[in-house]
Amino acid sequence: MSEDASFELDVFLPGELVDLCIPTSDFALKSNWYNWFNDRNLVKYLEQGVFPNTRKKQLEYFESIPGSRLVLIIVDKKAAPIGVISLSSINHQKKNCDVALVVSDDGDKRLKSFVGLESMALITAHAFELLGMQRVNAGQHIKLAGWQNRLELIGYQLEGLHINGFVEGNKSDDGVSIAASRDSYEYLASRREGSLWDNYENMRRRVKSLPNKTYLDILINIYENDRKEYYKNIYSL
């Protein structure tokens, strides 16, 4: 963020470690939000980053956000913007939407994964409670398995593995699809005083208690063994 930037963002969804705030044109022009998408380390598992981003492009993006998308800036408790999170393809008829997240390296490195987790919890609760969604979808690179495992703590279940589903230039890798349902949201919220994120200490304890063998490990084994054998038999008919 540039040193001469002077503006405040209104809080839309308050949290414990972070607040999700409303972006403004002033923020798009004066902050380094645009440059997060030029950082190869941040976007290596995202579709962005093929073409350079600029402040002008970021402003144009903000000013053209459709009604089917909600974009919020992740701000830490020192009022520093450290990421962006969004709900897109918001479909009130089918009652589902997609969620996406980028957390920069500007904040406390020790809290980065928890900052992302609380941000996801806040916007997921908003999708179910205020937007009336029944389902929130997401997808990610298979190398983000640890992050996927943490997301399971707030109701995101693994639904599929996509062979070579992530393509960047001449390279391809596997991807996964995940989703949170209203049922999982309501169940977890009922056990945590009405919230997906009750507090940092409890979430940290839960992360430490996650199983060593994840459902992704089980699914990969099925794809590499049972699935291959199944289709080998099918193709030999």
Q: What pLDDT was estimated at residue 5? A: 46
Q: Which residues of the chain have pLDDT under 50?
A: 1-6
Assigned token pair, 131: 């937007």
Q: What pLDDT was estimated at residue 48? A: 67
Enumerate the domain spans of the chain: 11-230
Q: What pLDDT was estimated at residue 7? A: 61
Q: What pLDDT was estimated at residue 104? A: 87
For residue range 25-59, list pLDDT tens digits in order.
Answer: 889 888 888 888 888 888 787 766 678 888 888 88
Fold that domain 11-230 belongs to in CATH: Aminopeptidase (3.40.630)
Q: What pLDDT was estimated at residue 180? A: 98
Q: What pLDDT was estimated at residue 40? A: 80
Q: List CB contacts of 27: < 8 A, sequence separation 6 or more.
A: 7, 9, 33, 73, 81
Q: What pLDDT was estimated at residue 51? A: 81
Q: List CB contacts of 157: < 8 A, sequence separation 6 or more.
A: 178, 179, 180, 181, 184, 215
Helices (H), 107-227: 112-129, 145-151, 182-191, 200-208, 215-221
Q: What pLDDT was estimated at residue 153? A: 98
Q: What pLDDT was estimated at residue 49? A: 63
